[in-house]
Homo-oligomer: A and B are copies of this chain.
């Protein structure tokens, strides 16, 4: 057991660490547009499994020191990643911070503001395999090679300096910046304004982030379609998010709008400079029902390539719909059944279903 730890010479006695995490495993059939269906025991569909260590120290005068380090993991195979080969072990979070009356400052690797609010304002939240808007904005797939601005630049940023304001009657302002350290990831910054007054049905958010001086190369379309090659090298990425939710009691409804742009270069017919626009909307609802909730969400993305050389294969629309029931055995443990349809212009559609269990600790 990890408590009652032995007094250790060099460690002061007041430290506090929580071991926390989530394990999510399902029996599933997965099939995105243009993919073959695969039946398997899978993980991370309803929430990316993870294990972490965090803590807080009261420094007096309202000041606190805080930290969080956590790793993704896949309980179906025992791997310590989200599925990205070679990913750093503590990719989920690794930061230390100070908070006080004036807000919180953090330094390290952490989730981006667009990512956090993408989850917050969608019914399926952290469901990397089942949340339509998550798939459209942060998960690369064969059906959507250049997912969006956000997916290209990761849901977490290295080397980040972040500020979060106190909650002023429901209003919270946050900003993040990460310097370029020479590599292809470039330099990044972003900000958000969230209004979510306690005890009120309304919550809303405006978020923006931007990546500059990057050099990230992607295929531009589904490989079997014309125009997929040569790939695009994106240099500047930006994304706006407008999001809102309203809790009617019998149902909570969600809406999101993402407007993203990638400026980059592509070998081939002139001009070499290309601008790729990706726009996504999401509508959804959660309906409390029995010891759980019905969940429904639809997301649609449209991709436009301007500045010449555009072909049919490059402009495309993707529509993804998920519906399911999430049954709570307790506040920490739930069972879920979810079905999802994924359709992309000119590609065969895909159907996914999952029966799973999630446990938080």
A323 at the binding interface (Cβ < 8 Å): no
Q: Most B CB atoms within 10 A — which of A14, A73, A361?
A: A361
* A109–B108 CA distance with the chains assembled, in angstroms: 29
* A88 pairs with B80, CB closer than 8 A: yes
Please, which residues of chain B bring their CB within 8 A of the CB of A4?
1, 3, 16
* B6 pairs with A19, CB closer than 8 A: no
A171 at the binding interface (Cβ < 8 Å): no
* B12 pairs with A5, CB closer than 8 A: no
A333 is contacted by which of B59, B158, B159 (Cβ under 8 Å)?
Answer: B59
A94 at the binding interface (Cβ < 8 Å): yes
* A158 pairs with B76, CB closer than 8 A: yes
* B65 pairs with A333, CB closer than 8 A: yes
* A59 pairs with B330, CB closer than 8 A: yes
- Given A20-B11, A25-B96, A108-B76: A332 touches B57 (CB 8 Å cut-off): yes
A41 is contacted by which of B16, B21, B90, B107 (Cβ under 8 Å)?
Answer: B107
A75 is contacted by which of B69, B359, B361 (Cβ under 8 Å)?
Answer: B69
A78 to chain B, nearest CB (A): 4
A11-30 with Cβ < 8 A to chain B: 11-21, 23-27
A26 to chain B, nearest CB (A): 8
A357 closest partner in B (C-beta): B96
A161 at the binding interface (Cβ < 8 Å): yes
A246 to chain B, nearest CB (A): 21
A40 at the binding interface (Cβ < 8 Å): yes
Q: Interface-forming stretch among A177-185, A249-257, A299-307?
A: A177-185
* A160–B27 CA distance with the chains assembled, in angstroms: 10
Taking residues whose C-beta sits less than 8 angstroms from the other chain, chain A's interface range is 35 or more
Please, which residues of chain B bring their CB within 8 A of the CB of A320?
none
* B41 pairs with A178, CB closer than 8 A: yes
* A15 pairs with B332, CB closer than 8 A: yes
A39 at the binding interface (Cβ < 8 Å): yes
- Given A21-B53, A88-B80, A108-B76: A67 touches B11 (CB 8 Å cut-off): no
- The interface residues of chain A, by DSSP majority, are classed as strand
* B57 pairs with A359, CB closer than 8 A: yes
A198 to chain B, nearest CB (A): 13
A27 is contacted by which of B38, B42, B67, B107 (Cβ under 8 Å)?
Answer: B107
A99 to chain B, nearest CB (A): 12
A229 at the binding interface (Cβ < 8 Å): no
* A286–B74 CA distance with the chains assembled, in angstroms: 39
A194 at the binding interface (Cβ < 8 Å): no
A184 to chain B, nearest CB (A): 14
* A74 pairs with B53, CB closer than 8 A: no
* A20 pairs with B8, CB closer than 8 A: yes
A109 is contacted by which of B11, B26, B55, B77 (Cβ under 8 Å)?
Answer: B77
- Contact mask for chain A residues 290-322; partner B; CB cutoff 8 A; 1 contact, 0 none: 000000000000000000000000000000000
Q: Which 8 A-B pairs have CB atoms at the shortest separation, nearest pair first? A: A5-B18, A3-B3, A2-B19, A80-B89, A41-B159, A78-B90, A6-B56, A75-B108
13 more CB-based (< 8 A) A-B contacts, given A78-B88, A96-B357: A2-B3, A5-B55, A6-B55, A8-B20, A8-B54, A12-B332, A23-B69, A38-B181, A38-B182, A41-B108, A43-B108, A75-B94, A76-B158
**B-contacting residues of A (Cβ < 8 Å)?**
1-6, 8, 11-21, 23-27, 38-43, 51, 53-57, 59-60, 63, 65, 67, 69, 73-80, 88-96, 98, 107-109, 156, 158-161, 178-179, 181-182, 329-333, 357-361
